[in-house]
Structure 1
Amino acid sequence: MILRHEKNTQQLKVRKTYQIYFLFITLVLFTTGANGNSKQGTKIELNGNISRVFVNTSFDFFLDTAAIYSIEEISQEKFQDHFQKVTDPHVLYDYLNSPIWMRFTIQNNQSISDYSWYLESWGFDIKNITFYFPRADGKFESSTAGFEQPFDQRKISHKNFNYFLDLRPSETKTYYLKVKRNYNQEFIFHLRTNEKFLAHSLNEYFLLGIYYGVLTIILIFNFYLFYRLRDTLYLYFTCLIIACIWFSLGRDGLGFQYLWPNSPWVNKLANEYFIELIIILSTLMFSDRFIQKYTKNRKVFTLTYWAILFKLLLFLNQLFFFELNYIHYLVITIIILLVPFSLGLFALMRVKIYSWSYIFAYACLFLVIVYSYSKSIQLFNNPVLNWYFVYPVIFLEMILFSFSIFNQLKFLQNQFLEANKERTLALENNNLLTQELNSKLKEKVRARTEKIEKMAADLAQKNLELETTNLKLQELNDQVTQSNNYLQENNAVLQTSVAGVAKDLALMKGLDFLGFKNVFPDKDTCLNFLAELKWKDKYQCKKCEYKKFTTGLNCGRRCKNCNYYESPTVDTLFHKLKFPIEKAFYILYLSNRKDVDLTLNELSEILELRRETCWAFKNKISQAMEKVGHNKELNGWETLALVNLE
């Protein structure tokens, strides 16, 4: 996300001026050296019991514009007058392609013999840095590392550049550094004893561990939410967290140390336009999805994807075409984020949703972008705090975005509860209507039964009268006998129809589970009904095709020829049923009703069955409907009972 250099065209304009100025200064230095007026080099003195020294500008430098000098030439006595005193932590603001030689002269005035001093260059993104420390024979030993060098070349495995000075009490040594930069970066150097170096490193790694640990927990939680809910909101937020972690790993050097130590090219990928592009795109998509879950707003959706397109075009322009000044690039980036955010915020306000955590999280994102691009902002005197300032802001951003997600989950849960309440009221009203309809049907059945009983009594009375007058009406005996037989047949039909009415009611729409259970109270009733339904036309043995049988156990049919027994459930929807058949009858009965739509949880509670069992049998019913092209308006539920799915 941090831009490594400013606009190239602007650098070319000022470079000539700096070159002329530098040549003039070099000429003056050579003239001064020829007259014997050599400069006294900057010296760092270690006095008393100090254990840490900040030496940001306590060194001298020489710009090797042609990159032709070696350490042997640089370290010569006659060359020392060419070095200049450093007055600014950036050393130079130009000549990015030329190496800078730095000279440290350290005088140890301490009497403490167990101090081991280290030189630390803070800021791992130096392109190339070679440290030269003197040996006893007057020559120098080198150690090369850098942003573009494999990590295992370092003698001390640390994200910063650390070098052991081997400086004893009363010794004075001069050390050299050869540095190549990627951009006009600020150089930060510390001298620390071994104890201070270890304490600082452990504290820094401990705090970074907490930072990455919390972000990793948030990442895992949101990935779990995406896996369980399949909502792209959590996928976009997961991408945003990964991008921020990647940005942080590239910024502090831990990624180079632990994740890609042998792939220095990843450092450039992690610290320039690419990771900044991922952060902004994932933020835009997360923001759009966040808004759409509250209110479906087509304008926010359209504007968000236009912003994504503009950001991609800006990214390609910076890489391959006309590179903008970093201030212009920053302003355009902020506008790309701000426009869809403002419209989305307005859409939330229209539906009276005020997500303050979402607003402050976006503010943190803007702060990170502005602070990362604006290298001149120095909020603290400590450069380490200035560098790590974005970390607590990113941390706060992730926490606030998480809070906004939790608030949205609570909002959606409340909506779900309200919908369930409305659905429950609708079901209660439907049940009341069903009960009222059942009462009316029962009243009609009772009235019809009384009428039938009365008719039966009248017929019996007339039969007695006919018998008493039989002798008188002998000539009409044949006619009366035929009438009497006809009346007896009607009486038998009317008597049996009382029992049939209840079953006919079950085949109609309008019974709850208790009413249905009165019609089909047990397994035998259901099996008997299924047997009558299955063999209502004729019976024929499956093995020998014989058509005579005896009724066996559980209302089955046993062939009189080959003794083959066939259960009523064979070749039906209830074959190999694992739970009571009367409950399966009720599920099948409900499947043909359009006025009742129970959820699996409600059906499971009514029938006292597991939810998975209800779902499996309902799925089986759906397959049967699809197989026979069942029509709820034209067909009764009993037609599905004889569907064979095997």
Structure 2
Amino acid sequence: MNYLLQKIQLRIYVAILFTFILGLPTLLQAQEDKVELIDGITKVPIIKRMDFLLDTAAIFSIQEIASEDLQSRFRKVTDNHVVYGYLDSPLWLRLQVSNQMTQEDISWYFESWGFDIKDITFYFPNSDGTFSALQAGFGIPFPERRIKHKNFNYYLDLRPGEEKTYYLRITRHYNHEFTFFLRTNEAFLNHSFNEYFLLGIYYGVLILIVISNMYLFFKMRDTLYIYFICLILACIWFCLGRDGLGFQYLWPNYPWLNRLNNEYFIELIIILTTLLFSNRFIQKYTKSSRTHKLTSLAVLLKLGFFINQVYFVELYYVTYIVITIIILLIPFSHGLYILAKSGIYSWPYIFAYLCLFLVIIYSYGKSIELFNNPVINWYLVYPVIFLETVFFSFSIFNQIKFLQQESIQANKEKTLALEKNNQLTLELNSQLKEKVRERTEEIEKMAESLAQKNVELQTTNLKLQELNTKVTQLNSILQINNEELKTSVEEITKNLALMKGLDFEGFKQVFPDKESCLKFLSELKWKNRYSCKKCQYNKYNEDANYGRRCKNCNYYESPTVDTLFHKIKFPIEKAFYILYLSNRKDVDMTLNELSDILELRRETCWAFKNKIALAMEKVQHNKELSGWETLALVHLE
């Protein structure tokens, strides 16, 4: 009987031991999956200590996920990407945390490092078994976050001795490499301050480079600096969109702008500005139309490639990177060939382009993993961009130094040319002095000859005095003849005033244009003296239209003011001819004939002839005694 009891007890012990051995891995896994917070720890990486469930049908709610029925369907996370593919399916993550700390004043935060998660919802367990949700993501306005930080951060509200299970629902737009941490409040603040401080220095240096190049542009007016400024601003925009600071500070209410930094747009801007900068950089060293054409071709190819990638066939990212680098190599390699052919080697320019290639490759750091640390993978592009801008800046400085050396060489050549010119000038001066001496001798000889001729002139003057007496007698005779001529001149003057027998072509020879008419009218108007109508001052300045501007009050008076030609709407030379015809008795021309000759409307001719008739009536003009010019100064208004 005792033997039987001992055998039964042995079997029970074996069964218990066997059961314990079979359940040990499960217990160890459960122990490993649970995150325990103990004293002395400030940061805990947790992604591989979480469980996940892929909701391929997108049908589960938080209540269903937290139910006992679905707990067994969670699987342990073994890779930082959790699961590849299934980008349209929500990904659920489970986090079990136990606070074993003895200190009461330490709070813990969950931090999802990385900015570009499309949608992330963190579920907090409540005391009644329900869950509270906080939603964030780069597609949701930034102000809706409870903790205003570029990363996704959530307060755990976990007291010492408590244990809670948290859930995350994540929607992705590419295969994310997740980096989740639990940090104490002090560690979170220290990490944030250091990160913001370093990023501030990074952006500050880039902005200083932008400002210095703006100064160079306004100083030198060269488009090279504008292209470089646009390149740096594009890199700044790329980085602001990559680290989330742009979303936090610049466009918090416009989450759609985040898509411009997560697709191909900003990369297009960086490449186009680099191509334009590179072309201008080469052209400043040596004019190359072939490089300019290849740059234009590269720009067109990149634009076409961008349109295809966004709207038509999206290529595999490795293929996309290779084609983009080939497009950039077309003008770059030819530019290097042109520089080398001219004996110019700009190593900073070459290194800057290599950095650009690294930026293009590393802009896909979310797909290319060169390091085990995701933080390094993500931020390594920043020093590469910084080196790119520094190398491009060095290449600009080297170019300025090169151009200065060329300028110095040109000045030396100019100095040599000036010295040669001075030497030629001295030689010419010597020759001129010799010629001046010879000419002086000739002048002295001519002076002696003139002295002799002066004696002859004196003799001739005596003879001229005798002739002067005879001339005086002749002058008396000429005076009598002048009186007779004076009568004839008055008659001729009267006939000229009446201008009998002149047709329009003949009249145009006397008054061919507006300037001659204005000059005649100005002399006629102010033939006695000028007096300002405003202040009666008598000194003036005459302008190009023969008007006069008072030197005292600056009042300007046109030659046509207070005359018959004031405010006429047709050429003044034609008005002169109408006035001339109106004073002739021997010409009786109809309005139609006058309109055809002058090429004016019949009504215009009639209106001005009527104005002349009013002027004649006003001054009681006599065609026999007065010339037509007396009517010109009649003012009817």
Q: TM-score with structure 1 length normalisation?
A: 0.65
Residues 1:417 and 1:481: Cα distance change in structure 2 (over 3 Å): farther
Deviation at 1:374, TM superposition (A): 5.3
RCO comparison, higher one (Cα < 8 Å, 6+): 1
Residues 1:442 and 1:153: Cα distance change in structure 2 (over 3 Å): same
Q: Which residue of 2 aligns with 1:154?
A: 145
Q: Which residue of 2 aligns with 1:126?
A: 117
Q: What is the aligned counterpart of 1:109 among 100, 105, 110?
A: 100
Q: What is the aligned counterpart of 1:382 among 359, 368, 373?
A: 373
One-letter amino acid matched to 2:174: Y
Whether 1:200 aligns to 2:191 is: yes
Q: 1 CA distance for matches of 2:199 and 2:244?
A: 11
One-letter amino acid matched to 1:338: L
Q: What is the aligned counterpart of 1:321 among 301, 312, 324?
A: 312
Q: 2 CA distance for matches of 1:393 and 1:452?
A: 85
Deviation at 1:54, TM superposition (A): 0.8
Whether 1:227 aligns to 2:232 is: no
Q: Which residue of 2 aligns with 1:352?
A: 343
Residues 1:563 and 1:333: Cα distance change in structure 2 (over 3 Å): closer
Q: 2 CA distance for matches of 1:402 and 1:459?
A: 80
Deviation at 1:435, TM superposition (A): 4.5
One-letter amino acid matched to 1:235: I
1:138-180 Cα distance to aligned partner (Å, 9 max, x none): 2211111101000001111100000010111111011111110
Deviation at 1:318, TM superposition (A): 0.8
Q: Which residue of 2 aligns with 1:254?
A: 245
Q: Which residue of 2 aligns with 1:523?
A: none
Kept in 1, the 8 Å contact 2:177–2:366? The answer is no
One-letter amino acid matched to 1:427: L
Whether 1:428 aligns to 2:419 is: yes
Q: Which residue of 2 aligns with 1:190?
A: 181
Q: Which residue of 2 aligns with 1:366?
A: 357
Q: 1 CA distance for matches of 2:46 and 2:344?
A: 53
Residues 1:400 and 1:482: Cα distance change in structure 2 (over 3 Å): same
Q: 1 CA distance for matches of 2:427 and 2:227?
A: 52
Q: 1 CA distance for matches of 2:72 and 2:147?
A: 32
Kept in 2, the 8 Å contact 1:90–1:185? The answer is yes
Q: Secondary structure at the match of 2:239?
A: helix
Out of 449-458 and 320-329, give the one that drifted further: 449-458
One-letter amino acid matched to 1:122: W
Q: Which residue of 1 aligns with 2:84?
A: 93
Q: What is the aligned counterpart of 2:55 among 44, 49, 64?
A: 64
Q: Which residue of 1 aligns with 2:483?
A: none
Q: Secondary structure at the match of 1:167?
A: coil
Residues 1:318 and 1:461: Cα distance change in structure 2 (over 3 Å): closer
Kept in 2, the 8 Å contact 1:44–1:105? The answer is yes
Q: 2 CA distance for matches of 1:124 and 1:269?
A: 14
Cα RMSD, aligned residues only: 3.2
Residues 1:463 and 1:377: Cα distance change in structure 2 (over 3 Å): closer
Q: 2 CA distance for matches of 1:316 and 1:564?
A: 75
Q: Secondary structure at the match of 2:148?
A: coil
Q: Which residue of 2 aligns with 1:143?
A: 134
Q: What is the aligned counterpart of 2:45 among 37, 40, 54?
A: 54
Deviation at 1:542, TM superposition (A): 13
Whether 1:451 aligns to 2:442 is: yes
Residues 1:565 and 1:313: Cα distance change in structure 2 (over 3 Å): closer
One-letter amino acid matched to 1:451: E
Aligned residues: 456
Deviation at 1:439, TM superposition (A): 4.6
Kept in 1, the 8 Å contact 2:136–2:144? The answer is yes
1:587-606 Cα distance to aligned partner (Å, 9 max, x none): xxxxxxxxxxxxxxxxxxxx
Deviation at 1:456, TM superposition (A): 3.0
1:179-225 Cα distance to aligned partner (Å, 9 max, x none): 10010111110010000000000000000001101111111221222
> Matched residues, percent identical?
63
Kept in 2, the 8 Å contact 1:132–1:176? The answer is yes
Residues 1:565 and 1:382: Cα distance change in structure 2 (over 3 Å): closer
Deviation at 1:375, TM superposition (A): 4.1
Kept in 2, the 8 Å contact 1:52–1:192? The answer is yes
Q: Secondary structure at the match of 2:72?
A: helix
Q: Which residue of 2 aligns with 1:496?
A: none
Q: Which residue of 1 aligns with 2:170?
A: 179
Q: 2 CA distance for matches of 1:224 and 1:359?
A: 25
Kept in 2, the 8 Å contact 1:103–1:176? The answer is yes
Q: How do 1:536-547 and structure 2 match up within 5 A?
A: none
Residues 1:565 and 1:189: Cα distance change in structure 2 (over 3 Å): closer
1:530-583 Cα distance to aligned partner (Å, 9 max, x none): xxxxxxxxxxx9997799xxxxxxxxxxxxxx99799xxxx9xxxxxxxxxxxx
Deviation at 1:461, TM superposition (A): 6.3
Gaps of at least 5 residues in structure 1 are 1-35, 471-476, 484-540, 548-561, 572-646
Q: Which residue of 2 aligns with 1:263?
A: 254
Deviation at 1:110, TM superposition (A): 1.2
Q: 2 CA distance for matches of 1:239 and 1:287?
A: 13
Residues 1:463 and 1:51: Cα distance change in structure 2 (over 3 Å): closer
Q: 1 CA distance for matches of 2:332 and 2:60?
A: 54
Q: 2 CA distance for matches of 1:67 and 1:50?
A: 37
Kept in 2, the 8 Å contact 1:223–1:234? The answer is yes
Q: Which residue of 1 aligns with 2:303?
A: 312
Q: TM-score with structure 2 length normalisation?
A: 0.66
Residues 1:460 and 1:344: Cα distance change in structure 2 (over 3 Å): closer
Q: 1 CA distance for matches of 2:342 and 2:263?
A: 39
One-letter amino acid matched to 1:56: I
Q: Which residue of 1 aligns with 2:282?
A: 291
Kept in 2, the 8 Å contact 1:543–1:564? The answer is no
Deviation at 1:320, TM superposition (A): 1.3
One-letter amino acid matched to 1:84: R
Deviation at 1:120, TM superposition (A): 0.2
Gaps of at least 5 residues in structure 2 are 1-25, 466-522, 530-536, 547-637
